[in-house]
Structure 1
């Protein structure tokens, strides 16, 4: 995989995960049952993005 593709995935995963976390927190505020899975899933997706930052730092140009 090319480094530029990894960089794109890093930002997509981080921002997508944080959007999921924010949406889940808003849903929890209104007592919806979907809130907790959204927060959990969003956190995992954002963590995967952070992991890809490490992977990208180890790639050769």
Structure 2
């Protein structure tokens, strides 16, 4: 069972990867005209980060939640 703190960290990491990855993807697409290799690199890294964030959300949804010990 995962603690509340662990689940919160996974949530924060997942959304950071998704938003950061999408930002890098758009930045890579916008910079394709200036530098092709740099633009493609940013696009690929951004897409991979966004996919990793989605995978973390799926993993998070399958983790059992620890019951609260406080009454």
Give the count of matched residue pairs.
60
Greater radius of gyration (CA): 2
Residue of structure 1 in register with 2:59 after alignment: 55
Give the match for residue 18 of structure 2: 14
Runs of 4+ with deviation above 2 angstroms: none
**Cα distance, 1:31 vs structure 2:** 3.3
Q: Which runs of 5+ in 1 are unaligned?
A: none
What are structure 2's unaligned runs of at least 5 residues? 66-71
Give the TM-score of the pair, scaled to structure 1: 0.91
Alpha-carbon RMSD across the aligned residues, in angstroms, is 1.1
Write 1 or 2 for the structure with the bigger share of helix: 1
